[in-house]
Structure 1
Amino acid sequence: MRKGVNPVKGGKPVVKEPCDHRVLIPLFIPHEEDYFKDAYRIFILCLESILKTANSKVKVSIISNKCCDAVNQRLLKLYKDKQIDELIIEREGIGKINSLLKALRTVEERLITITDADVLFLQNWEKEVVKVFEEFPKAGAVCPVPVFRKQFDLTYNIWRNYFFSNKLRFSKVKDLPALEKFATSIGWTHLPEEFGDTIATLESTSGHKAVVGCSHFVATYKREVFKELPINNSPYLIDGDSELLYLDLPVIKKGGYRLSTYSNNAFHLGNVHESWMEKEFEQLIEKDNKFIDYTYLSNISTSTFSYYLDNVIFKKIFKKKSILKWVLKRKGLNNSQLFNYLDRKY
């Protein structure tokens, strides 16, 4: 039985608080022991660092992927306290990518940041990421963390376009301690010397530098990138080819460059809480953010032919050792560095 008239009937438009940057965080904390002992504490550092430092009024979506009841209760409180704008709770473990798709397929904001729950965002992360989008109109994804040896990871469109240009070359690493922190965060005991001496960079017409390559543990994307998402969901909980198919390939299928900021603007924390993390967080200064309309950022697009030219024909030619050696030397590597780069598989 229906009684009365639904008050929203009559063609009333959707009205939302203005926002042009959405942050998506998939969260998997099935219990709070062993590997996950510090997971929620680290997640809170991640969330609060976003809210504290963002330039614009970002909206945050949390997708709870089979989190335990205790964690879900805390997430509900965050939602009630308006710390987060959207909360999706999945009883079954559907995997990182599929949990993201719950929110990603309906996102309307111009910029979409997808981050793991163990990232500490630093003071000017959004400003620096947006600067890369402004300086490089073809940028489709930008990571706020420059990471070693990503220069040939789905970046062949960049290498083809700047093959003879001095704008693309190897530069000195700007923040070596941050690079070393990343290495230890993924379980390495130290950063090998040959990983920290140089990094591939792209220079804009105004002289602004970005790093070639983009990690997917945290990155900001232009919304049109996700028009290239696969129709079906991922069969994997994590790893496999899920991040490649759903986060990486859509960027280059749309003709976008995969770049990172030259300066370090976030830390990957890992699963163990350490005192330095709190010290870094305490140094953050809360910003009085406001709505920023990011629709001025250039749209990206490409043709099937251009995609094939970059990622099949050019890639095949470029990876020939003799050609790669010539290019790397021309782009600034000395003989010792050249040996280290050529000796590795890409």
Structure 2
Amino acid sequence: MRVGFNPNKDKEIDQVEYTHQVIMPVHIPHFEGYFKDSFKILEYSLESLFKTSHKNTYITVVNNGSCEEVKNFLNSLFHQDLIHELIHTICIGKLNAILKGVVGNRIELVTISDADVLFLPNWQQETVKIFENVPKAGVVGIVPQFKMFEANCGNVLFDTFFSKKLKFLPVKNPDALALFYKSIGWANDYNQDYLKYNLGLDLSEDFKVLVGSGHFVATYKKDMFDEVKSYLGYKLGGLSEAYLDKSSLKKDYWRLTTQDNYAYHMGNTLEDWMETDYPVKNTQQVTHSGFSKRKPMSHFMFFLKNRLFSKFISIPFLYKCFLRSKGLPKAMINKY
């Protein structure tokens, strides 16, 4: 039987001033084969996150069916207050694990990161800079990749098609760009022109962004997850990646990426360069908030921008005309 009155009943929840959430799903079931180095890589990833994130960052780790050693390690970080929220579950799939972390707070920005990302200083500041200066930005990546504008960017290209700000920009950090493709197992036999130019928006003399974003680490406006699916039936890939990658399009948000590189993808194999020294922890207090929100777009406009226009611009002749009109050097157009 119940005796007395619960003192917490009808009390409002205290609103802690976190302005940025980071969600990292972790799946390391054992330390064999593919997962041989995964534990150490996870340690590097979390250490880089702790050292480079500002004080108003809320870190959520979802243990998605990892082994006991990893579970104990994450528990120890939680008890040290390095992790703010720790969720343990059996293996329910990457996106289902992410969705568990998304709910339960009103933080406006949420970074969703794989457990093999090495964060670099200033990644947060550069991310927020884009959200503050580009109201339509809904997803911001921090690792430039090849030809990002070809995936889930029909609305960006439609909106800026006649703008002189949409143009090919020189790649700012070709070494980091090449290292990313090495980290995912690519040989060095791809078109080397991809290391020279990327499509972006030249917004001012000292502020440029790239069109498009990858999905292994990116920051989202939380309001695009207002209607969260309760379950997706894929452990990895499949519809799960499509759901995450295309969630921005429903509200006509743009997918963008920083022009410079602010994180590395480590993959599943340890290399010497991954051991990075961060001498000073980021103790900056950041209270950026009040980012613009968008309502869902009509079915007609969604179809026009993301289906019809995307098909139109992908016609080979028109695609080459587009590349030429946006400043890609003539010698590169046929093979770009």
TM-score (norm 2): 0.95
What amino acid is aligned across from residue 264 of structure 1 in structure 2? N
Shift of 1:284: 5.4
Instruction: Write the deviation string for residues 198-220 of structure 1: whole angstroms up to 9, x where unpaired.
Output: 11111225651101110000000
**Residues 72 and 191 (structure 1), Cα distance of their counterparts in 2 relative to 1, 3 Å cut:** farther
> Do residues 337 (structure 1) and 335 (structure 2) align?
no
> Do residues 58 (structure 1) and 57 (structure 2) align?
yes
2-structure distance, mates of 1:205, 1:198: 18
Q: Is the CA contact (8 Å cut-off) linking 2:211 and 2:257 kept in structure 1?
A: yes
Instruction: Write the deviation string for residues 146-176 of structure 1: whole angstroms up to 9, x where unpaired.
Output: 1112111111111111112221111111001
Shift of 1:35: 1.5
Shift of 1:234: 1.2
1-structure distance, mates of 2:231, 2:153: 25
Q: Is the CA contact (8 Å cut-off) linking 1:228 and 1:253 kept in structure 2?
A: no
- Name structure 1 gaps, 5 residues minimum: 342-346
Q: Is the CA contact (8 Å cut-off) linking 1:111 and 1:222 kept in structure 2?
A: yes
Q: Which of the residues 294, 297, 307 maps onto 1:300?
A: 294
Instruction: Write the deviation string for residues 242-272 of structure 1: whole angstroms up to 9, x where unpaired.
Output: 1111x11110111100000001000011011
Q: Is the CA contact (8 Å cut-off) linking 1:53 and 1:284 kept in structure 2?
A: no
Q: Which of the residues 138, 141, 144 maps onto 1:143?
A: 141
Instruction: Write the deviation string for residues 19-41 of structure 1: whole angstroms up to 9, x where unpaired.
Output: 01110000000012221122121
1-structure distance, mates of 2:102, 2:189: 34
Q: Is the CA contact (8 Å cut-off) linking 2:25 and 2:64 kept in structure 1?
A: yes
Q: Which of the residues 98, 122, 132 maps onto 1:134?
A: 132
What amino acid is aligned across from residue 135 of structure 2 in structure 1? P
Q: Is the CA contact (8 Å cut-off) linking 1:49 and 1:120 kept in structure 2?
A: yes
Shift of 1:313: 2.4
Shift of 1:303: 2.1
What amino acid is aligned across from residue 308 of structure 2 in structure 1? I
**Segment drifting more, 50-59 vs 170-179:** 50-59
Shift of 1:276: 0.7
Q: How many residues align?
A: 334
**In the alignment, what sits opposite 2:246?**
249
Q: Which of the residues 104, 110, 118 maps onto 1:112?
A: 110
Q: Which of the residues 270, 275, 284 maps onto 2:272?
A: 275
What amino acid is aligned across from residue 339 of structure 1 in structure 2? N
**Residues 129 and 35 (structure 1), Cα distance of their counterparts in 2 relative to 1, 3 Å cut:** same
**In the alignment, what sits opposite 1:344?**
none
Residue identity over aligned pairs, in percent, reads 37
**In the alignment, what sits opposite 1:320?**
315
> Do residues 154 (structure 1) and 152 (structure 2) align?
yes
**In the alignment, what sits opposite 2:74?**
75
**In the alignment, what sits opposite 1:182?**
180
**Residues 323 and 114 (structure 1), Cα distance of their counterparts in 2 relative to 1, 3 Å cut:** same
2-structure distance, mates of 1:239, 1:175: 29
TM-score (norm 1): 0.92
Q: Per the alignment, in what secondary structure is the counterpart of residue 150 of structure 2? A: coil
- Name structure 2 gaps, 5 residues minimum: none
**Residues 293 and 156 (structure 1), Cα distance of their counterparts in 2 relative to 1, 3 Å cut:** same
Q: Per the alignment, in what secondary structure is the counterpart of residue 63 of structure 1? A: strand
**Residues 26 and 147 (structure 1), Cα distance of their counterparts in 2 relative to 1, 3 Å cut:** same
Q: Which of the residues 219, 237, 240 maps onto 1:239?
A: 237
> Do residues 98 (structure 1) and 96 (structure 2) align?
yes
1-structure distance, mates of 2:295, 2:313: 23
Q: Is the CA contact (8 Å cut-off) linking 1:32 and 1:38 kept in structure 2?
A: yes
Shift of 1:294: 1.6
What amino acid is aligned across from residue 303 of structure 1 in structure 2? M
Shift of 1:56: 4.4
Query: Superposed, which structure 2 residues align to 1:202-241 within 5 Å?
Result: 202-204=201-203, 208-227=207-226, 229=228, 231-241=229-239
**Residues 284 and 337 (structure 1), Cα distance of their counterparts in 2 relative to 1, 3 Å cut:** farther
**In the alignment, what sits opposite 2:4?**
4
2-structure distance, mates of 1:234, 1:282: 39
What amino acid is aligned across from residue 222 of structure 2 in structure 1? R
Shift of 1:78: 0.8
What amino acid is aligned across from residue 251 of structure 2 in structure 1? K
